[in-house]
Amino acid sequence: MTEKDPGLTRRLLLRAPAVGVAAAGVAVLSNPSAASAQAGPSMTYDVTTWVHSTNAAITCFTDIGALINDIIADIKKRQPNQSSKPGAVIYIPPGDYPLKTRVTVDVSYLTIRGDGHGFTSSSIRYNAGDTSAWHEIWPGGSRIRVENTDGKSEAFLVSRSGDPRLSSVVFDNFCLDGISFTPNQNSYANGKVGIRVDTANDAFRVERMGFVYLERALIIRDADALNVHGNFIAECGNCVELIGSGQASKVTDNHVGAGYIGYSIFAEGHQGLLIAGNNIFPRGKSLVHLRNTSRSSITGNRLHGFYPGMLDSDGVNKENLISGNHFRREPEPWAPMQPYDNGKDDLYGVMHLCGDGNMVTGNLFAYDVAPAKIKPSGAKPTMILVATGSNNHVSNNSVASNVAANAVVLDASTRGTKVIDSATASQFVTYATDYAFRATP
């Protein structure tokens, strides 16, 4: 059939089911000259079939970063029309891919998608000794090894000047593996960044990703309507950092656990942020940290930490709702990590609150630390410390503790704090003179 009508096969493929269409598009886009000559309907690129436009020796198996940069250049060449830039999909099949060159994303509507986040614990392996009998030792799925021999720190830098801001970039379902914290595998420090979004952005999504052994997994500046959802981000120095400012964003349904040097979830200058449904586990120096973040909700999370300041804050944080969370505070049980902590003592508070008009309600604090491990020695640990601010409302919180504890403490600079059914008389300490208190019966 193809000898009589060379276009017949292509027409049949274009009438095939969706999987066939994607495969047909990949076949066309595997050759740059064919892509330019036949700018067909598909904008799906497969990194395993794409031929680099200037150097065929560069493949996804030699440097996936340089290859993806070449694909992005082709997207811009194929979509020069200001009024018609639908974007594209870059597909990363399951496999191991070295990234030696930083990827720079400067186009909107781009999805970079794999087939498996591939997370596995490198910390356990590095501390285990002999792993010769293990079934596997490295992360899997669509795994990118962040090697960065170009002198850059990021695997992916998303940045563009001018207007409008970048929109609708998606990272979905692949693994970014920082490989090693050489020479100290328990340091959480190697200078590597998974994804850095460095200019204002709208409607970005980071979903179903795996991040492991990066000093900073995900950094997003000036986000509007961001969705960080369903990821597995652990054994990184810092996991999720929302910096600069932002509004109407979500960090939901993730598994997150930073190292003792950094934050599991950090939010700066945000309005209307929703942090909900996350399972946040040790050993971040803080599990949720708010800085000048207001009118946001931290609800329905499970937080398990080894240090004080599990939910921490600084600056002025206004009108936030912190409700329905489960806090579990224990000491570090694992011998390789017992030499480390976050430098804070148990008077700092499991929750350390700074700001005005915040509501802390319906949370459960489960504290289980042996008396010999409480700092300073002999102190009654603090569950909620209202450190600064006015008109904060603390109500209907519950404490389960293996030792006598102060459920709520008010520092001297606070004003107008209402503490209702969150502490018995013996569990409440105030250094302030302006407050209202109703003891838990």
Whether residue 14 is contained in a domain is answered as: no
More confident residue, 18 or 420: 420
- Classified as helix, coil or strand, 75 is helix
Of 38-42, 204-208, 318-322, the range with the lowest mean pLDDT is 38-42
Residue 6 has phi, psi (to 5 degrees) of -60, -25
Residues in the chain: 441
pLDDT at 21 over 60: no
Nearest alpha-carbon partner for 223 in 242, 206, 240: 242
Asked if residue 3 is part of any domain, the answer here is no
367 close to 329: Cβ distance less than 8 angstroms: yes
Could you give the C-alpha distances from 312 to 11, 286, 288, 291, in angstroms and in order? 59, 6, 6, 9
Residue in 322, 314, 397 with CA at minimum distance from that of residue 357: 322
Q: Give the pLDDT score at 320.
A: 98
Domain CATH number, residue 197: 2.160.20.10
For 194, the enclosing helix (H) or strand (E) is strand 193-197
Give 228-256 pLDDT, tens digit per residue: 999 999 999 999 999 999 999 999 999 99
Whether residue 174 is contained in a domain is answered as: yes
pLDDT > 90: what percent of the chain?
89
Q: What does pTM read for this prediction?
A: 0.90
Q: Which domain holds residue 151?
A: 44-128+135-344+357-372
Q: For the ranges 37-41, 69-73, 300-304, 355-359, which has the lowest average pLDDT?
A: 37-41
Q: How many CB atoms lie under 10 A from the CB of residue 25? A: 23
Q: Are 95 and 142 in contact (CB under 8 A)?
A: yes
Residue 37 lies in a domain: no
- Would 234 be classed as within a structural domain? yes
**Cα 420 from Cα 397, distance rounded (Å):** 9
C-alpha dihedral over 278, 181, 216, 333, to 10 degrees? 30
* Alpha helices per DSSP H over 90-186: 122-126
What are the tokens at 168? 């609708």
Least confident of 11-15, 41-45, 293-297: 11-15
User: Looking at the domain assignment, is residue 217 inside a domain?
Assistant: yes
Q: Is residue 259 in a domain?
A: yes
- Residue 336 pLDDT grade (very low, low, confident, very high; cuts 50, 70, 90): confident
Residue 201 dihedral angles phi and psi, to the nearest 5°: -150, 160
C-beta atoms surrounding 227 within 10 Å = 17
Kindly report the CA angle at 204 between 199 and 205, in degrees rounded to 5? Answer: 140
Q: Which pLDDT score is estimated for 218? A: 98
Find out whether 402 and 367 touch, Cβ atoms under 8 Å: yes
Tokens of residue 53, six digits? 């436009």
Short-list 298, 314, 291, 305, CA closest to 256: 305
Q: What's the confidence (pLDDT) of residue 41? A: 54
Q: Confidence class of residue 83 from pLDDT cuts 50, 70 and 90?
A: very high
Domain count of the fold of the chain: 1
Q: How far apart are CA 76 and CA 94, in angstroms?
A: 26
* Contact criterion met (CB below 8 Å) for 237 and 213: no
The span from the CA of 359 to the CA of 420, in Å, is 11
pLDDT at 42: 85
- Is the pLDDT score of 32 beyond 80? no
Instruction: Please check whether residue 200 is in contact with residue 165, taking contact to mean a CB–CB distance below 8 angstroms.
Output: yes
**Strand partners of residue 230:** none
Residue 93 lies in a domain: yes
